[in-house]
Amino acid sequence: MQVFSNPTQNEIEMAAKALKDGNLVAFPTETVYGLGADATNEKAVGKIYVAKGRPRNHPVIVHISSAKQLDNWAVEIPEYAIRLGSAYWPGPMTLILKRNSRASDYITGGQESVGLRVPNQQVALALTREFEKLNGLGIAAPSANRFGSVSPTTAQAVEEELRKFLGSEDLILDAGLCEIGVESSIIDCTQFNPVVLRPGAITKEMIEQITNLPVSLKADKSELRAPGLLDNHYAPKAKVILGLAAKQGDGFIALDQIPTPDGSIRLASPASIEEYAKDLYQALRMGDQLGLSQIYVVEPKGIGLAIAIRDRLAKASSGKRD
Ligand code: TXA
Ligand code: MG
């Protein structure tokens, strides 16, 4: 495995070639780092599952360079999905659409739908474009972490987590800290109205504004075998507890106006909801690096991105409150 820091155009072309040759390339996006493979290469996508230790029946998102590539993967795309794509792509939004025959079971986890996203990050976009120049059709990429753990927002986090599981021809592209810090909004567009399956930076209000349709927020665990929808996901090794009651030696994460409880170790003091999203996963990882056994987290209030943060914290803590 090799790391390219602030990759040059030439290195991005090498990475596209590595994908085409069936290798894995971890790359930055504006949300979190992804672990990419050629979405048309079953063997290459299989390597993602092995590196992540992820069950085979979990679908992966296919990353494309623009909405023009949607027809390569999806059929019967509703008009509201087209409008969402024009409004928010490139951006932190994944659309779930009815799959075509190219979107095989090893991409969709056997479901009749496929997840597609145009990431808004220079390296990621350049990589999807270079890959398409080599006749690539899309890059399958889940978050670049081991199954169940916290998504990486830096290349160092990817390296620490996956080093042992990547091959000598695999690559990591390093472009620093991810701008947003929580995973994309996932919007099911296979129904009459859009349904948010995973909240993110593209909020319910933003979806309603563009589609003029009622939007529901729902995580149906019975129907969707989506890892992000399982409890106890997005979790560090330390026990995450929601609340203020941190004691001596516990980690503590809260907005900056909330004082640090006596004896606890402050892991992040974000000044805004945006900063909270950007710092959260790094702060949880730092808690593990310090060997803490418990991290107390005070959730942000309000709507928008705060909903996404609370969603991830609910999963990281499995709902444990003090
Ligand atoms: O921000 C993101 O979305 C990042 C970056 C790398 O793009 N990716 C990401 O991928 O978070 P992953 O695999 O860690 O989470 C994607 C979620 C999973 O919960 C997966 O099950 C769900 O999307 N998903 C993918 N395809 C789906 C489908 N056809 N139907 C329902 N859920 C799907
Ligand atoms: Mg993930």
CB 65 within 8 A of CB 123: no
Tell me if 107 is assigned to some domain.
Answer: yes
Ligand closest to the CA atom of residue 182: 1
Confidence at residue 30, expressed as pLDDT on a 0 to 100 scale: 98
For ligand 1, atom 24: residue with the closest CA: 59
Residue 53 token pair: 């230790």
* 44: helix, strand or coil: helix
Q: What is the C-alpha to C-alpha distance for residues 88 and 161, in angstroms, rounded to an integer?
A: 31
**How far is ligand 2, taken at its centre, from the CA of residue 226, in Å?**
9
pLDDT at 320 over 90: no
Domain match, 157 and 288 both: no
Residues 120-139: what's their mean pLDDT?
98
Phi-psi region of 253 (alpha: psi -120 to 50; beta: other; left: phi over 0): beta
Report in angstroms the alpha-carbon separations of 123 from 22, 45, 178: 19, 21, 11
DSSP β-bridge partners for residue 140: 37, 62
Do 207 and 255 sit in the same domain of this protein?
no
Count up the domains in the chain and report the number. 2
pLDDT in tens, 271-308: 999 999 999 999 999 999 999 999 999 999 999 999 99
Q: Residue 184's domain is classified under what CATH number? A: 3.90.870.10
pLDDT reading at 129 higher than 70: yes
Residues 38 and 164 in one domain: yes
Query: How large is the greatest C-alpha to C-alpha distance in the chain, in angstroms?
Result: 58
Is 150 part of a structural domain of the chain? Answer: yes
Question: Under the phi-then-psi rule, with left for phi > 0, alpha for psi from -120 to 50, and beta for the rest, what region is 125?
Answer: alpha
Query: Residue 227 has what pLDDT?
Result: 47
Q: How confident is the model at residue 232 (pLDDT cuts 50, 70, 90)?
A: low
**Which of 60, 105, 116 to mutate to test ligand 1, by most ligand atoms within 8 A of the CB atom?**
60
Q: Are residues 65 and 213 in the same domain?
A: yes
Same domain, 248 and 275: yes
Which domain covers residue 78, as residue numbers? 2-220
The residues, ordered by sequence, that sit 6+ positions from 129 with a Cβ below 8 Å of its Cβ are 65
Map tokens 């050629």 to a residue.
38
Cα-to-centroid distance, 247 and ligand 2 (Å): 30
Question: For the segment 25-45, what is each residue's pLDDT rounded down to a tens digit?
Answer: 999 999 999 999 999 999 999
Task: For ligand 1, say whether the CB of 154 is within 6 Å of any of its atoms.
Answer: no
